[in-house]
Amino acid sequence: MKVPLHVAKEQEVKAAGFKPTPETEIKEKFLAKLDDVRSSMRSIMVMLETCTKCGNCAQQCHSYLGTNDYNNFPAARAELMRRVYKRYFTTAGKLLGRFYGAEEFDSELISKWMTYFYQCNECRRCAQFCPFGIDTAEVTIAARHIMSELGIMPKFMAGIAVNMEKSGNNMGIPKPAIVDCAEFMEDEMRDETGLDIKIPIDKPNSDVLYVPSSADFFTNVDTMIGAAKMFHHLGVNWTISSKILEAANFGLLFNMNVMREHNQRLKEAAREVGASLVVQGECGHGWRAARMYTEGASGPVPFKIMHVLEYAAENLSKLPLRKLPLRVTLHDPCNYARAGGVIEQPRQIIRACVEEFVEMTPNREENFCCGGGSGILMDEMMEIRMQLGKKKAEQVKALGSLDYFAVPCSICKAQLPHVMKHYGMGSLSMGGVMDLVGKAMVFDK
Ligand code: SF4
Ligand code: SF4
């Protein structure tokens, strides 16, 4: 299969818990899985039936604008599923075939799906501007799910599934390394504040379970430190769980069953530590999976779920903040602004922490994706990722000189430094919103 990403080999597919499908059975299994999706994700059928090809979504998709590839035009991307759906599941398609826009399944189709459904960032911007609200991100989610059920997935996703299963986090970090990193951050905070600020791990009888991104323990430690300082100052009885050191839920990005397993991990971890509140760290799609899918797709949830930026905004007046002398802008992660209701909170927090906050245009629900959304962070996709990040780079460049670029999502934090460097803004400092909270908090020594 010739596609821009590395496809998982048979052994990697098996290691990730999937069964490879023999060539001779692909068509039959593909149609069976498409049929499953028709009944389990019924909104997809409405999206496939409704599009009038008005073209409104074309200029709203950074993937199409950045690559100039027709198959990345949202309606054309959905058409990759629509044509085969029409051929096998509509009477007109069965009778009229191509005259009705229907198309036979062939092996080329899988290559096209692997190429173009992995150039959709599942950002939902097309849905924002479609007169019918057709959400191509949902079509992408369904397509990736169908392919992974056949044992066809990126090597990158298969590797993450193995790590999630083994350690509860994407990076495969074992508990001793988690403890080491927490101690390192505690030492840093002690040196800076003179206070004994803890990052508790697996503490029983905790009121709050905090679920950071695993990257917050290595590359984005200031995000973790910001959250720890906040909980300390507020006197919260909190903990992290070594069983789920991961707000990200890559299942949502390639297989819904893997997503449900991670949601179960979250429920189990909250039960173990006795938490009545789960606070999710800075991760966009992880927030969407936790907020939108934990209860609906994974059974009852006996605790409340909040985002750390909701929590910080709610407690803002209790935090001892000074204004840092910085000019700052905010990237709205797609899964906060268009899928998770975290829009004004980061703005309230940043305004309380810095002297000057400037909005990029467009912003909030209309903001452009970073180009790495939906987890397409594969190295082999770097050239395409830069094309997908072009609109974001233009937005930032238009603001002139900045001191800090607030990017409160782990995937955006992994993607945007490459984008900024590629478009000549490599020296721009960037990080999370909780990083600013941590730096702006003033403690009496
Ligand atoms: S805006 Fe909506 S109806 Fe128009 S082409 Fe795009 S998906 Fe189809
Ligand atoms: S979800 Fe985003 S990347 Fe995907 S088709 Fe729509 S606008 Fe393009």
Tokens 């992660």 found at? 333
Which is nearest to 83 in space by CA: 67, 70, 96? 96
pLDDT at 427 over 70: yes
CA distance from start to end of the chain: 61
Work out the pLDDT band at 339, boundaries 50, 70, 90.
Answer: confident
Ligand nearest to the CA of 74: 2
Residue range 84-107: mean pLDDT, rounded = 94
Q: Which H or E run contains 357?
A: strand 354-358
- Which atom of ligand 1 is nearest to 55's Cα? 5
pLDDT at 262 over 70: yes
Specify the pLDDT at position 436: 98
How does the average pLDDT of the chain come out, rounded? 95
Q: Over the stretch 392-403, which tens digit does the pLDDT of each residue have?
A: 999 999 999 999
* Ligand 1 touching residue 132 (CB < 6 A): yes
Q: Which domains does the chain have, with CATH numbers?
A: 21-150 (1.10.1060), 165-314 (3.40.50.1860), 320-440 (3.40.50)
Residues sharing a CB contact under 8 Å with residue 330, sequence separation 6 or more, in sequence order: 346, 347, 350, 357, 359, 360, 363, 406, 408, 433
- Which atom of ligand 2 is nearest to 137's Cα? 1
DSSP annotation of 168 = S
pLDDT at 238 over 90: yes
Work out the pLDDT band at 149, boundaries 50, 70, 90.
Answer: very high
Q: Is the Cβ–Cβ distance between 228 and 196 less than 8 Å?
A: no
* Ligand 1 touching residue 98 (CB < 6 A): no
CA-to-CA distance for 218 and 413, rounded, in angstroms? 13
DSSP 384-415: HHHHHTHHHHHHHHTT---SEEE--SHHHHHH
Q: How far is the CA of 130 from the centre of ligand 1 (A)?
A: 5
pLDDT at 244 over 80: yes
Here the tokens at position 29 are: 């299994």
What residues line ligand 2, using a CB cutoff of 6 Å? 60-61, 63, 74, 77, 120-126, 136-137, 140
Ligand nearest to the CA of 130: 1
Specify the pLDDT at position 295: 78
Treating both helix axes as pointing N-terminal to C-terminal, what angle do 344-353 and 433-440 enclose, rounded to 10 degrees? 30
Specify the pLDDT at position 173: 93
CA-to-CA distance for 18 and 361, rounded, in angstroms? 43
Q: Name the residue with the closest Cα to ligand 1, atom 1.
A: 130
Which is nearest to 414 in space by CA: 380, 388, 377? 377
Q: Name the residue with the closest Cα to ligand 2, atom 8.
A: 61
Q: Over the stretch 6-33, which tens digit does the pLDDT of each residue have?
A: 999 999 999 999 999 999 999 999 999 9
pLDDT at 59 over 90: yes
CA-to-CA distance for 94 and 97, rounded, in angstroms? 6
3-class DSSP state of 209: strand
Q: Is the dihedral of CA 440, 412, 391, 56 positive or negative?
A: negative
Here the tokens at position 19 are: 């069964």
Q: How far is the CA of 137 from the centre of ligand 2 (A)?
A: 6
Q: Name the residue with the closest Cα to ligand 1, atom 3.
A: 51
Ligand nearest to the CA of 376: 2
DSSP annotation of 196 = -
Which is nearest to 305 in space by CA: 231, 418, 403, 210? 210
Work out the pLDDT band at 191, boundaries 50, 70, 90.
Answer: very high
Q: Percent of the chain, pLDDT > 90?
A: 93
CA-to-CA distance for 405 and 329, rounded, in angstroms? 5
pLDDT at 218 over 70: yes
Specify the pLDDT at position 1: 74
Work out the pLDDT band at 40, boundaries 50, 70, 90.
Answer: confident
Pairwise pLDDT comparison (47 vs 273), residue with the higher score: 273
Specify the pLDDT at position 445: 67
CA-to-CA distance for 68 and 62, rounded, in angstroms? 9
Q: Over the stretch 300-319, which tens digit does the pLDDT of each residue have?
A: 888 999 999 999 999 999 99
Q: Name the residue with the closest Cα to ligand 2, atom 3.
A: 120
Q: How far is the CA of 280 from the centre of ligand 1 (A)?
A: 33
3-class DSSP state of 376: coil
* Ligand 1 touching residue 47 (CB < 6 A): no
Q: How far is the CA of 108 from the centre of ligand 1 (A)?
A: 25
What is the reported pTM? 0.95
Q: Percent of the chain, pLDDT > 70?
A: 99
Q: How far is the CA of 51 from the centre of ligand 1 (A)?
A: 5
Residue range 79-99: mean pLDDT, rounded = 95
CA-to-CA distance for 357 and 314, rounded, in angstroms? 20
Specify the pLDDT at position 298: 64
pLDDT at 113 over 70: yes
Which is nearest to 58 in space by CA: 129, 111, 110? 129
Q: How far is the CA of 252 from the centre of ligand 2 (A)?
A: 16
Work out the pLDDT band at 297, boundaries 50, 70, 90.
Answer: low
pLDDT at 46 over 90: no
